[in-house]
């Protein structure tokens, strides 16, 4: 039985897990995890990429200490963000964190010189302030010394692969989060890059998921005590990694609860007509070759911020009891409103937004939680309906993937609001997808349909039927 090491990097933590394909399914064990959060400096937010790299080194040392034989290593991470490397191959600065790009001015400034329709014809991507294209444009206008001195730009997962192997690549799904990939050709678009003064030569060799791109360098072998283990490109963008493992079939939609929730469907072809642009829909090529047609929405981010503001952790049972106790709270709001772009006092803001729409503001914690969850569910279903309307598809069921702050409560609300069956999938879906792609590269799994079947067998789904 072959073991695969999956490194999953989210906005909250770095997790190392060992997975393997067994005769009766799939085995996954978390090896270790480390806290991860953006660092604020002089009004900007950065990822401490060297700390993340050191976390990975510690995980590799643990693998060696335990005497585990691993077949390969794969890394999936947050999308959008990138590291700047000089012509000597050295890191020029810590990468800016997408969570710090919240101002819509980043979008409008770019569109002031590049027609919105022209970019959408190429990338068919949602125009969020933190998309790579807008980040780079904003950094250029601000005179970023790291960017102006950069010879190569590598997305977070690609940068870490380079640090482990010395090989520079640009993995397709990581690049797909940037709005710089041409969805028709599947590669970086020279004209889109030209609007930023860049070319494909400013990136690594463009590669697909499931490729062995290098091995642990001699230096890494000495540091960790491991041999020259192969490093495989998985779906470098965590969303694509999670969707790769999802039990998605015809008529099934998904919600991935990352930093911002991704709501969408899989499609054999991208949606990039005028209706798709009007709906602000993103298309990204997934690891399976299908397109991940989706839209990011901020609901689960607000839920986490609310918990942080209260300084409490609620169990699913606590949260359920709170929601039930607030049975008369019927107010809802739009979590994607500009008012919530960079919220500071989230509870106060929710109350103010409800008041501004002539609704009774929530007062107790229970009322705030019910109002927020109902609003998130309503927005998720609204987004899904806009996507399926453009795709001319119907949805029979919805699969919820990733870390779910309120578990079954949100799933039940989604079922009630949407009127369809909701299945709660694994919280570590991105890690599962990471391992599955490595297993396919090693010949342990022959297809994505087989991988999804194994995932469903190993991690049974919990079903929620509409009650209203």
Per-residue pLDDT reduced to its tens digit, 190-215:
999 999 999 999 999 999 999 999 99
First to last CA, the chain: 47
> Residue 365 corresponds to which tokens in the numbers above?
């914690």
SS3 letters across 261-281: EEEEEEECCCCCCHHHHHCCC
Is it the case that residue 320 has pLDDT exceeding 80? no
- Whether the model clears a pTM of 0.85, i.e. scores above it, the answer is yes
Q: d(Cα 154, Cα 171) in Å, to the nearest integer?
A: 9
Please give the C-alpha separations between residue 367 and each of 138, 325, 411, in angstroms, as whole numbers: 39, 8, 18
pLDDT number for residue 405: 60
Which run of H or of E encompasses 98?
none
Q: What is the average per-residue pLDDT within 111-116?
A: 95
- Residue 82 burial (CB count, 10 A): 26
pLDDT in tens, 260-276: 999 999 999 999 999 99
User: Could you tell me the pLDDT band of residue 73, with boundaries at 50, 70 and 90?
Assistant: very high
- Residue 341 burial (CB count, 10 A): 12
Average pLDDT, the chain: 92
Q: What is the dihedral of CA 284, 285, 290, 291, to 10 degrees?
A: 20
For the ranges 66-70, 285-289, 308-312, 437-441, which has the lowest average pLDDT? 308-312
């Amino acid at each position: 039985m072959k073991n695969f090491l999956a490194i999953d990097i989210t906005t909250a933590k770095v997790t190392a897990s060992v997975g393997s394909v067994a005769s009766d399914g799939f085995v996954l064990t978390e090896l270790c995890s480390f806290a991860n959060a953006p660092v604020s400096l002089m009004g900007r937010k950065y990822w401490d990429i060297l700390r993340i790299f050191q976390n990975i080194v510690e995980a590799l040392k643990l693998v060696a200490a335990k005497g585990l034989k691993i077949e390969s290593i794969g890394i999936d991470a947050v999308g959008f963000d990138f590291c700047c490397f000089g012509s000597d191959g050295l890191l020029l600065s810590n990468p800016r964190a997408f969570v710090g790009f919240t101002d819509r001015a980043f979008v409008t400034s770019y569109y002031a010189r590049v027609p919105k329709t022209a970019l959408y014809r190429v990338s068919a991507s949602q125009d969020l302030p933190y998309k790579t294209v807008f980040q780079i444009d904003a950094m250029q206008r601000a005179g970023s010394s790291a960017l102006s001195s950069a010879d190569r730009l590598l997305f977070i997962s690609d940068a870490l692969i380079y640090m482990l192997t010395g090989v520079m690549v640009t993995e397709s799904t990581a690049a797909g989060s940037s709005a710089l990939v041409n969805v028709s050709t599947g590669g970086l678009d020279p004209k889109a890059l030209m609007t930023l003064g860049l070319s494909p030569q400013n990136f690594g060799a463009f590669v697909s998921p499931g490729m062995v791109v290098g091995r642990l360098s001699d230096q890494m072998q000495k540091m960790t005590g491991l041999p020259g283990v192969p490093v495989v490109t998985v779906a470098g963008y965590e969303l694509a990694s999670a969707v790769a493992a999802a039990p998605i079939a015809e008529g099934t939609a998904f919600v991935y609860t990352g930093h911002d929730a991704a709501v969408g469907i899989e499609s054999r072809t991208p949606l990039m007509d005028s209706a798709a642009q009007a709906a602000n829909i993103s298309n990204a090529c997934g690891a399976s070759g299908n397109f991940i047609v989706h839209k990011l929405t901020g609901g689960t981010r607000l839920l986490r911020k609310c918990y942080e503001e209260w300084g409490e952790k609620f169990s699913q049972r606590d949260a359920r009891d709170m929601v039930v106790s607030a049975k008369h709270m019927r107010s809802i709001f739009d979590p994607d409103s500009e008012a919530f772009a960079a919220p500071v006092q989230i509870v106060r803001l929710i109350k103010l937004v409800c008041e501004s729409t002539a609704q009774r503001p929530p007062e107790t914690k229970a009322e705030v939680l019910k109002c927020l969850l109902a609003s998130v569910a309503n927005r998720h279903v609204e987004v899904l309906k806009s996507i399926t309307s453009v795709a001319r598809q119907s949805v029979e069921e919805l699969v919820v993937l990733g870390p779910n702050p309120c578990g079954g409560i949100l799933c039940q609300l989604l079922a009630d609001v949407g009127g369809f069956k909701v299945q709660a999938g694994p919280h570590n879906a991105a890690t599962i997808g990471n391992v599955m792609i490595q297993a396919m590269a090693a010949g342990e799994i022959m297809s994505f349909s087989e991988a999804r079947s194994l995932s469903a067998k190993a991690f049974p789904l919990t079903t929620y039927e509409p009650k209203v």
